Amino acid sequence: MRGNLVVGGALVGLVVVTALVSLLWTPLDPQAVDASVRLLGPTSQHLLGTDKFGRDVFSQLMVGAQTTLYVGIVAVGLAAVAGVPLGVLAAMGPRWLGELVMRTSDLVLAFPALLLAIMLAAVYGASTLTAMIAIGVATVPAFARVARAGALQVLSREYTLAARAGGRSRWWIAWRHVLPNISGMVVVQSSVSFAMAVLAEAALSFLGFGTAPPTPSWGRMLQESQELLAVDARLALVPGLAIAAVVLGFNLLGDGLRDHFDPRLEARR
Amino acid sequence: MATRRSALSALASAAVLAAPLALAGCTAGSTAMVGTGPSTLAVGLTAEPQNFDFTTTDGAAIPQALLYNVYETLVKVDSDGEIVGGLAESWDVSNDRTVYDFQLREATFSNGEPFTASDVKFSIERVQQDWTISLKSGMDVVDRVEVVDDRHARVVLSRPSNSWLRAMTTRIGAMFDPAGVADLANDPVGTGPYDVESRRRGDSIVLTRNPEYSNPESPRPAPGYRTVVLKYYADATALNNALLSGGIDVISGVTAPDSLPQFEADNRFRVLQGTTNGEVVLAFNNRRAPLDDVRVRKALTYAIDRKALLEAAWGGRGELIGSMVPPTDPWFEDLSGEYPYDPDRARSLLREAGHESLRLDLRIANLPYAVSSAQVIASHLKKVGVTVDIEPLDFPAVWLQQVFTDADYDMSIVQHVEPQDITTFGDPDFYWGYDSDRVQRLLTEADTAPPREYIADMREVARTLSDDAAANWLFLFPNIVVAKNEVRGLQANQVSESFDLTGLRRQGTS
């Protein structure tokens, strides 16, 4: 389905553009507190109204996109950089090493990412960095598994057997054949993991273990709006929809990319 | 004088008033199976007691549930902060203010034993000998207790003390029966109108009317409700929903002030707002540069618009105070106008102190009122060139270690709920790092001074603290009670340690 790719790409693109624009410009200072304009509905000056501190919700939403992408990129990057080599190593190295890597990753996988993040936050203090590291570490096994499965597939192909028969070293085979052939799967996994990282960051900030105030974060916007649900649901709706849109975007993008990299899958549908 | 540890207990109890946010989306989770009907009252609270023994367990949760309801004291504080009779019908103080003669009321413990003067002697001596919580130091001043006759107890102090009688209104004044202290953690025995019937951990405590009060010949009026269920909710939204869905009749203290309009607009409910002893304080580390410079502290006080802060952070509910004194203390003086919002003055004070720009950390308790206040403060201080790094610390454990114990902070925010905790400024080792000979001398003199000088001395302490900008008192935490219309007799102010159930009754009953 090309539609997935287009819709997903558009949603993700929108967030990326918003984040980039907010680096240079926001309608108002997202951190400026002004008690005289608190809890306003949408006006021409405040497109999405103001929160209980009198801050501009639209500006916060824009800057919050930065936090979201930042966390996603670092967490997923960390997971991919650590997970992919581990997975390839597990597939190509000695049997005991493969077992060790995969059993360890089972262990990490069994441990809830949020709990890990809360533990880290308790020890090192709540910050965006600890949240990213925790989410990244918890996502490593997903990449290791994908990379290992892909590598095993590639290793059984004729061209790798030929390379091996030709006396090429393991590293050469890994570099020339395995990595290029699993890159598509890694990209797909990144997109899916990105969506999960966004959700995890929002959850952590909601619980007060993520991005520290006053840096805007969609999760904390949700948390601050919680007690106002019955009074002004708009404040919860805005960041909620933003999170939903990003997660949907990355999931659709992941699906679309999978179809793109593996056309046989699409044919089977 | 509050010791270091007693203040710690007060801080821990700050968690009670603003329990941290629990997991999202919980709804009313309490499921106590008790009969509901006109004679049953269900009260929603936030912090649950770990056990029933406040003689060895710190924290505000146990006395909140048991004091005045299950255990009674010789004297108690009414909602205006005045000391009134409890188990003591009346009392006389000798001219040298060291001998207190208490005339006792007739009362019976829930185990059937009568309450007599020897129980007073037993209870007071037990505080000195067996209690382990830090507040027991309030009883240090007692030299001996004499049993004059069954209805007359005499307490002799080793020196005059202005704080002792008031301390007797707190948990340390609770009266016990020698036969009833075997298993305090699970089976409290008191003279109060209620007796603990059952408890479900993590959920609720059921109190039923002490049978002695049902006796028509009982000299004391029976409480309005036969059964009271105390239900505990860690999450403010869950607590609100429980009242909306009819699971409870009263919210003992609302910690989500912006959610109140939904109750105010609903004619099924009544909202009462009063004062507490809880000062929300922006603490300055008086010992660490640059905050050891009074000009910097004054600048930071001028730079924060506290009226706007209260509005933004706590929905405008609460009171502005200018020192460590709630309006219900006898030496209260309105000092809230001492540092009017004046960013220009703040900037010039900072310049005078040699700081064109400053970067300070703000290590706060990870609690709603602190996180909200911190964001307003960061925004206000930015306007005078002070950059604030907010670090929310897990409360109580991490905050207590880093800020309270190690005093490793520039600024912090926490609520101090202990009654008369102004005395903490007399302890130079307290985390304020405030070391003033004048304040220490005044506080020591005040406790033994004749009552009139006592008030004057304490007033002077409060004023000195304000002049020194020893801290920035952001606001006094409000007590917000929401109840169904038919619940009558609720108090707006929360100045004792107890959530007093004794005066509550259903509308239309007497």
* DSSP-derived secondary structure for A16-79: HHHHHHHHH--SS-TT---GGGTT----SSSTT-B-TT--BHHHHHHHHHHHHHHHHHHHHHHH
**Residue B494, phi then psi, degrees to nearest 5:** -120, 85
**CA–CA separation, B255 vs B22, rounded Å?**
13
Nearest alpha-carbon partner for B65 in B192, B215, B154, B216: B192
Contact A246, A12 (CB under 8 A): yes
Q: What ipTM describes this predicted complex?
A: 0.79
The vertex-A226 CA angle with B473 and B484, nearest 5°, equals 85
Q: Does B378 touch chain A (CB under 8 A)?
A: yes
Question: What dihedral angle (degrees, nearest 10) is formed by the CA atoms of B362, B364, B366, B371?
Answer: -60
What chain B holds in terms of domains, given with CATH numbers, is: 279-476 (3.10.105.10)
Q: Which two tokens stand for residue B258?
A: 């912006």
pLDDT for the residue numbered B159: 92
pLDDT for the residue numbered B40: 92
- Cβ-based neighbour number of residue B448 at 10 Å: 14
Question: What dihedral angle (degrees, nearest 10) is formed by the CA atoms of A245, A250, A254, A256?
Answer: 50
Contact A159, A172 (CB under 8 A): no
- Domain ranges for chain A, please list them: 1-21+46-261
Q: Work out the pLDDT band at B409, boundaries 50, 70, 90.
A: very high
Distance from the A13 Cα atom to the nearest Cα atom in chain B, whole angstroms:
30
Distance from the B171 Cα atom to the nearest Cα atom in chain A, whole angstroms:
33
Contact B150, B75 (CB under 8 A): no
User: Cβ separation of A32 and B379 shorter than 8 Å?
Assistant: yes
**What are the pLDDT digits (tens) for A32-48?**
888 888 888 888 888 89
Beta bridge partners of A204: none
pLDDT for the residue numbered B61: 87
- In chain A, which ranges are continuous DSSP H helix? 2-24, 57-92, 95-110, 113-124, 128-155, 158-165, 170-173, 179-207, 218-226, 234-261, 263-268
Q: In sequence order, what are the residues at sequence separation of 6 or more whose Cβ sits closer than 8 angstroms to the Cβ of residue A101?
A: A86, A87, A89, A90, A144, A148
Q: Which residue has the tokens 């924290």?
A: B59
Buried (b) or exposed (e) across B125-144, using 16+ Cβ within 10 A?
ebbeeebebbbbbbbebbee
Distance from the B365 Cα atom to the nearest Cα atom in chain A, whole angstroms:
11
Cα within 13 Å of Cα(B140), Cβ side: 10
Q: Does A73 touch chain B (CB under 8 A)?
A: no
Q: In sequence order, what are the residues at sequence separation of 6 or more whose Cβ sits closer than 8 angstroms to the Cβ of residue A140?
A: A78, A79, A82, A83, A86, A105, A108
pLDDT of B191 higher than 50: yes
Q: Superfamily assignment of A1-21+46-261 in CATH?
A: MetI-like (1.10.3720.10)
CA-to-CA dists, residue A250 to A73, A112, A132, angstroms: 12, 22, 18
Strands B487-488 and B505-506: antiparallel
Distance from the A117 Cα atom to the nearest Cα atom in chain B, whole angstroms:
14
- Residue A93, classed as helix, strand or coil, is coil
pLDDT for the residue numbered B228: 95
Q: In sequence order, what are the residues at sequence separation of 6 or more whose Cβ sits closer than 8 angstroms to the Cβ of residue B122?
A: B176, B177, B178
Residues of chain B found within 8 Å of residue A207, distances taken between Cβ atoms: 21, 23-24
E strand residue ranges, B94-135? 99-104
Residues of chain A found within 8 Å of residue B391, distances taken between Cβ atoms: 125-126, 212
Q: What is the pTM of this model?
A: 0.81
Q: Does B376 touch chain A (CB under 8 A)?
A: yes
Q: Does A119 touch chain B (CB under 8 A)?
A: no
**CA–CA separation, B370 vs B425, rounded Å?**
21
Q: In sequence order, what are the residues at sequence separation of 6 or more whose Cβ sits closer than 8 angstroms to the Cβ of residue A159?
A: A177
Mean of per-residue pLDDT scores for chain B: 88
pLDDT for the residue numbered B79: 82
pLDDT for the residue numbered B510: 52
**CA–CA separation, B431 vs B442, rounded Å?**
20
Average pLDDT in the B11-22 region? 38
**CA–CA separation, B271 vs B483, rounded Å?**
7
Task: Please report, in angstroms and rounded to a whole number, the separation of the first and last CA atoms in chain B.
Answer: 42
Average pLDDT in the B494-502 region? 89
**CA–CA separation, B139 vs B152, rounded Å?**
20
Average pLDDT in the A7-12 region? 93
- Residue B281, classed as helix, strand or coil, is strand
**CA–CA separation, A198 vs B469, rounded Å?**
43
Q: Which of A35, A122, A208 sits opposite B308 (nearest CB)?
A: A35
Beta bridge partners of B83: B77
**What are the pLDDT digits (tens) for A167-226?**
888 888 888 889 998 999 999 999 999 999 999 989 988 888 888 888 899 999 998 888
Residues of chain B found within 8 Å of residue A208, distances taken between Cβ atoms: 20-21, 366, 371, 392
Question: Using H for helix, E for strand and C for coil, what is the string for A241-252?
Answer: HHHHHHHHHHHH
User: Cβ separation of A33 and B308 shorter than 8 Å?
Assistant: yes
pLDDT of B336 higher than 80: yes
pLDDT of B268 higher than 70: yes
Q: Work out the pLDDT band at B25, boundaries 50, 70, 90.
A: very low
Q: Does A125 touch chain B (CB under 8 A)?
A: yes
pLDDT of A117 higher than 90: no
Question: What dihedral angle (degrees, nearest 10) is formed by the CA atoms of B318, B323, B328, B329?
Answer: 160
Q: Work out the pLDDT band at A123, boundaries 50, 70, 90.
A: confident
| A-B contacts (CB, under 8 Å) | 90
User: Cβ separation of A207 and B379 shorter than 8 Å?
Assistant: no
Q: Which residue has the tokens 């007071």?
A: B124
Q: Work out the pLDDT band at B509, boundaries 50, 70, 90.
A: low
- How large is the C-alpha radius of gyration of chain B? 23
The vertex-B109 CA angle with B103 and B115, nearest 5°, equals 25
Average pLDDT in the B489-506 region? 89
Q: Work out the pLDDT band at A263, boundaries 50, 70, 90.
A: low
Contact B208, B195 (CB under 8 A): yes
Average pLDDT in the B329-357 region? 94
